[in-house]
């Protein structure tokens, strides 16, 4: 695996993913019982948007750069921008938080976090960035395997009943990765049926995702929701035109928080022909 997220940090896909992630965390910490969060493809957890890797693609300029300039008033987006500012106050003006940093920022002292990264250079950076946070366990290992190894989660000998699994693979081998991700969700739900699972996925041509949607509908879950943002028409298979989050067992009324945010993101980040949608593949009873 050669993928390095530093080339893409802060792009439109990161914006969508991290707005949703923070909304998930906030909904879940509203209840007092401790949580467990697993980030299966964590990357290094903290990025520099002025580094050569980020500047080479310039993707953050049309993502977080544009959103900071627009500053939409939507509450979920405002929450995300506040987290960006907090990260920069702690780490410098060009810092951008990955999902491990956002989990550490949003969750509480009593919660536990596990982050997995397979690529050695990225795993070493992840460990350096979070070595002093006792809530976080860091693993240089395959994230899909971690679902088998770490679920259901325990704090000592006591099982943790509530929590979140974020699955954010690189999709280097597109079709195989979709199959692997759905298989991992199915396995995770069998091990921890009450867990909330969030799977990020890229969108090139939406119609090619129909088999993925069908398989997601059949997951052994209480509910399955897709949230998608296309920043341009999905008329080319050669570029990522948008992305989505598949939310399994989403917290109650989370869609009411995030659907307006999708519309605001489309207006702030979209080109001509941009769109957004939220679909219940399986609606909660």
CA distances from 41 to 4, 30, 32, 130, 150 (A): 11, 26, 27, 15, 14
- Distance, in Å, from the CA atom of 23 to the CA atom of 118, rounded to the nearest integer, reads 27
168 is catalytic: yes
- Distance, in Å, from the CA atom of 168 to the CA atom of 13, rounded to the nearest integer, reads 11
> Catalytic residue among 168, 176, 234, 279, which?
168
DSSP 55-80: HHH-GGGGTHHHHHHH----HHHHHH
- Here the tokens at position 222 are 């209480």
With residue 154 as reference, give the H or E element that holds it.
strand 154-155
Decide: helix, strand or coil at residue 220: coil
- Distance, in Å, from the CA atom of 228 to the CA atom of 203, rounded to the nearest integer, reads 9
Active site residues: 168
């Amino acid at each position: 695996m050669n993928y390095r997220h530093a080339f893409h940090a802060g792009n439109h896909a990161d914006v969508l993913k991290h707005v949703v992630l923070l909304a998930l965390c906030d909904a879940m910490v509203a209840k007092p019982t401790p949580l467990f969060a697993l980030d299966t493809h964590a990357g290094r957890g903290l990025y520099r948007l002025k580094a050569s890797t980020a500047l080479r693609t310039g993707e953050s300029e049309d993502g977080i750069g544009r959103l900071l300039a627009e500053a939409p008033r939507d509450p979920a987006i405002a929450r995300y921008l506040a987290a960006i500012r907090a990260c920069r106050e702690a780490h410098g003006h060009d810092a951008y938080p990955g999902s491990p940093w956002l989990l550490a920022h949003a969750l509480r002292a009593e919660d536990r976090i596990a982050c997995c990264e397979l690529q050695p250079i990225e795993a070493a950076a992840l460990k350096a960035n979070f070595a002093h946070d006792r809530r976080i366990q860091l693993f240089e290992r395959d994230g899909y395997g971690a679902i088998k190894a770490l679920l259901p989660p325990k704090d000592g000998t006591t099982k943790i009943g509530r929590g979140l699994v974020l699955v954010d693979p690189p999709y280097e081998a597109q079709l195989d990765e979709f199959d692997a991700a759905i298989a991992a969700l199915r396995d995770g739900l069998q091990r921890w049926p009450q867990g909330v699972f969030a799977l990020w996925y890229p969108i090139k041509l939406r119609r090619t995702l129909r088999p993925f949607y069908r398989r997601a509908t059949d997951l052994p879950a209480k509910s399955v929701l897709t949230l998608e943002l296309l920043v341009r028409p999905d008329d080319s298979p050669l570029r990522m035109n948008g992305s989505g989050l598949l939310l399994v067992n989403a917290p109650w009324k989370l869609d009411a928080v995030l659907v307006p945010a999708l519309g605001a993101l489309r207006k702030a980040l979209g080109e001509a022909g941009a769109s957004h949608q939220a679909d219940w593949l399986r609606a909660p009873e």
